[in-house]
């Protein structure tokens, strides 16, 4: 059974993330342009100082070095941002939203163990701890048709996931995005 409200909410969050990412990219580009303008202004000042001869140009050189370092950091940030955008765009395919909708809903009690509190080292305890505290990848594997996508859809759409992720992301807002690799005859 398809959960339209959960899918719509997830779609909205994904769109919001994409918009925020684009705003960050524009902001980074604006910062780079601003630094380039500052560097040109400093270059003009240094040339003027050199023409005046006798004024201390070391302060200007320090300023130029500082601006150069800031520019290098922004350039690296822009490169990383471009790489991230490229990866995100590579994960999009025309049937992506259809794929999420076609994954069957789990039976009401099938995955209830996932968020049950336990003191042991169970997979449920590991997942809950990872969602609230960790970085990196939580790897889920299994044979074809064993329910990996159904499980991940359950986790991605579950309110408890949002609660745990919000604890991890605080004070920043949490975002949950899901992607299901699918090679069942659909061109990616």
- Lowest-confidence range among 6-10, 107-111, 119-123? 119-123
Question: What integer best gives the mean pLDDT of the chain?
Answer: 77
pLDDT at 184 over 50: yes
Q: Which residues, including other chains, have CB under 8 Å from residue 70's CB and lie 6 or more apart?
A: 35
| More confidently predicted of 128 and 96 | 128
Q: What is the pLDDT of residue 166?
A: 92
| More confidently predicted of 76 and 52 | 76
Mean pLDDT of 103-113: 78
Q: What is the pLDDT of residue 1?
A: 47
Q: Which CB contacts under 8 angstroms, 24+ apart, belong to 58-64?
A: 64/39
pLDDT digits (tens, 9 = 90+) for 1-32: 456 676 677 777 777 777 887 777 777 777 77
Q: What is the pLDDT of residue 78?
A: 79
Count, in order, helices (H) and strands (E) of the chain: 6, 0
Q: CA-CA distance, 61 to 3, in Å (whole number)?
A: 62
Greatest Cα-to-Cα distance within the chain, rounded to the nearest angstrom: 82
Q: Residue 140 — pLDDT band, cuts 50, 70, 90? A: confident
As a three-state string, the secondary structure of 78-119 is: HHHHHHHHHHHHHCCCCCHHHHHHHCCCCCCCCCHHHHCCCC
Q: Residue 104 — pLDDT band, cuts 50, 70, 90? A: confident
pLDDT at 36 over 80: no
Buried-exposed string 90-110: b where 16+ CB fall within 10 A, e elsewhere: eeeeeebeebbeebeebeeee
pLDDT at 37 over 70: yes
Q: Which residues, including other chains, have CB under 8 Å from residue 121's CB and lie 6 or more apart?
A: none
Q: What is the pLDDT of residue 122?
A: 64
163 in Cβ contact with 131 (< 8 Å): no
């Amino acid at each position: 059974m398809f959960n339209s409200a959960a899918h719509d909410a997830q779609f909205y969050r994904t769109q919001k993330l994409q918009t925020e990412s684009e705003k960050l990219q524009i902001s980074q580009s604006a910062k780079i342009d601003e630094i380039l303008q500052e560097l040109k202004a400093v270059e003009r000042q240094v040339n003027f100082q050199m023409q005046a001869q006798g004024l201390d140009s070391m302060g200007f050189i320090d300023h130029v070095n500082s601006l150069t370092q800031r520019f290098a950091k922004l350039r690296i940030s822009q490169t990383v941002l471009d790489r991230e955008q490229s990866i995100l765009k590579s994960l999009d395919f025309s049937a992506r939203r259809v794929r999420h909708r076609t994954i069957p809903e789990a039976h009401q009690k099938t995955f209830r163990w996932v968020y049950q509190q336990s003191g042991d080292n169970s997979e449920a305890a590991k997942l809950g701890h990872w969602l609230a505290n960790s970085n990196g990848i939580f790897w889920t594997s299994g044979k074809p048709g064993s329910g990996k996508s159904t499980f991940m859809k359950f986790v991605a759409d579950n309110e408890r996931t949002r609660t745990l992720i919000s604890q991890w992301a605080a004070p920043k807002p949490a975002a949950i995005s899901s992607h299901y690799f699918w090679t069942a005859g659909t061109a990616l």
